[in-house]
Structure 1
Amino acid sequence: MHLSMIVVTDIFGGFSTKDYDPINWGSKEDKKHFRKITTEIGTVIMGRKTFESIGHPLKDRLNIILTTQKKENKENIIFTKGSPEKIIKFLENQKIHSAAIIGGKKVFEDFFPFVDKLYITIEPIVLENAQKLNFPKTSFKLVATNVLNSKGTIVLEYKKLSQKDFL
């Protein structure tokens, strides 16, 4: 199973704040990039608040929504309170080989140990009172950069290094 984490941050690594819409503060170019990558991957995993912020399931993708609320599954939407391990096992049993973790904070942090690729968009803005993500020390290698617009929005793509990469 390949898990990618897709996140947009300000220039200091802040990714959301109560003062900004958690979904819509990024550039239109980042939204286009997000749509392209997540559609290629085919499955997205997000928390209930992220899902509610989006307002609808993401088209042409299987949407896995983490929630403690009892909800009925629909076409291309699965509601679950399962652990990352259980969700990964479920996807593997369904012959799904990749998924994108798209937020929010708790979902990013819970799934991080299983992530092997990062797509980090950096928007040239400073968000006031922005949240930061807390992860254990992990090594990655930069594999691609992409400038999305003339304002300086960039995407950094990283691949997780394995133990053998250190030897």
Structure 2
Amino acid sequence: MVTQTAHAEQTQSPSAVAACKPAAWDCQMHTYMGSPENVATNLATISDSLVERRVYMLMVQGDDRAEAHLYERFAFEDDEGTVATWSDHKLGDMVSRLTEVLVGNGGAHCPGEQVKAQLATDHEFTVGTPTPAPKTAAEAFGPVLASFSGDKFVQATVMALC
């Protein structure tokens, strides 16, 4: 279930729907493990083209807590976007279930919308108010990894969706 905070739900623009067709054939997943500092460094080296996507996601598992952040702009040309967040003690099978959704989709539909639908079925996310969209991977993911700086070992998975 996705809950909204402080903004009305928006719909995809026609340009976003058109751009999702090629994106459905170019989903990506990057996973890094190690100290929070090393993982943050690796995440910062991900191509900044990732944050130009309409929807992308970061999932982090630390020593005793997990977080997922779903970044979304409603149209590619938007300068603002929202971040939906979820947290618990463990990611559980979130990464593998989302991978199954993308493989099962087979490039047929918008990968971002497919992932959002699966997340709404399994987890309760809270959507923040619109803010300026991150310009770099470091800007998007750095603050999240900084919150895990006291952990000994983390795993972070980024999904580039649409």
What is the TM-score normalised by the length of structure 2? Answer: 0.26
Normalized per residue, the structure richer in helix is: 2
Q: Which has the larger radius of gyration?
A: 1
